[in-house]
Structure 1
Amino acid sequence: MPESFVSGLDNQTQSQMIDLLNARLADSTDLTLAVKQAHWNIRGRGYIGVHELLDEVADRLREQSDLMAERTAIMGGHARGTLQAAHGNTTLSPYPVELTDIQAHIAELVSRFKDHGAKLRQAIEQASEAGDADTEDLFTEVSREVDKDAWFIGANAPND
């Protein structure tokens, strides 16, 4: 393992956290592309508001990915943030590329955001159990933003 700039963590813990960060990075990269897929292809009532929201959400997801990737590098690892790495490691369901209906996109995105959020909460627990409070805090920050964006997107669904 290359030199790490994290003090107080042993190599085994760092290695575990690097793997965990890269796993969530793969999902975040996948989710960013799903959001852009919807952004490019949505059609229907409320188009412009959702279209603009999705651009903002994609920007936040990229910032979250950057946090995870930088933490990985700080720990002496390599961030695996390419499309190919995400494809091979994402745990999210494939996003349907033929959708145009705005409500169908909203439902698909909210489902993936909830899945991503659940996995981030598991990562919070794993980082806590490993004794890495900084990575735990990073995942907590990302989790809050993911939950908020799921709510923002879902607020565009019609009331039943």
Structure 2
Amino acid sequence: MSAIRSPLSDGARSVTGEALQGTLIDLIDLSLSAKQLHWNVTGRTFRSVHRQLDEVVDLARRYADATAERAVAIGVNPDGQSSTVARSTHLPGVEVGYIPDEKVIRQTTEVLAGVVTRMRTRMDATEKADPVTQNLIIEIVHDLEEQHWMFQAMV
């Protein structure tokens, strides 16, 4: 039995827990992928892309922590271990070595679009199950869509 008593019904906790776990996986891997690209981007727009990627990393890390803490608050244990992230991620891997800025911009735009799509599905799933979690997901979508727009504008 959990030491944390959930304010949600078992059904609502299950739906919400699944949404939070998927969110956590996406955010952890997004932060890792964006940091890898940040270190290896090259090209004319290096500086602006390098800095924009750090904004994505910061956003993903901040919301990963908020997501995991929300899960614990409703009696769900988050799993952000590297093996779990590697096994469960939907994000494509990042190639090794230097990567031209145009390729980084396109890849980041595509990755953000995929994450936003999954986040919007989770937003819908939590609407009735747990509006508090839905609110967190709405905030995440807001900030991810802003980053997606900024990367699209660089193409």
Change (3 A) 1:150 1:97: farther
The Cα shift of 1:92 comes to 2.2
Q: Which runs of 5+ in 1 are unaligned?
A: none
Q: Which residue of 2 aligns with 1:150?
A: 148
Question: Equivalent residue of 2:42, what SS?
Answer: coil
1:30 and 1:90 in contact (8 A); partners too: yes
SS class of match (2:55) = helix
Partner of 1:49: 48
Per the alignment, in what secondary structure is the counterpart of residue 154 of structure 2?
coil
Indicate if the aligned counterparts of 1:32 and 1:61 stay in contact, CA closer than 8 A. Answer: yes
Residue number in structure 1 paired with 2:2: 2
What TM-score results when the alignment is normalised by the length of structure 2?
A: 0.92
> In the aligned structure 2, how far is the partner of 1:11 from the partner of 1:3?
15
- Alpha-carbon deviation of 1:16? 2.2
Note the alpha carbon deviations across 1:46-81, whole angstroms, 9 max, x for none: 111111121122011101111111111101121111
1:111 matched to which residue of 2?
110
Check the 8 A contact 2:27/2:64 in 1, yes or no: yes
**What is the distance in 1 between the residues matched to 2:32 and 2:98?**
14
Q: Which runs of 5+ in 2 are unaligned?
A: none
C-alpha distance in 1 between matches for 2:104 and 2:133: 32
State the superposition RMSD in angstroms. Answer: 1.5
User: After the TM superposition, which of the residue ranges 102-111 and 10-19 deviates more from structure 2?
Assistant: 10-19
How much has 1:150 moved relative to structure 2? 1.1
Question: Contact 1:99/1:105 (CA < 8 Å) preserved in 2?
Answer: no
For the Cα contact (< 8 Å) 1:34–1:95, is it kept in 2?
yes
Letter in 2 for 1:149: Q
Single out whichever of 87-96 and 24-33 deviates more from structure 2: 87-96
> Normalization by structure 1: what TM-score?
0.89
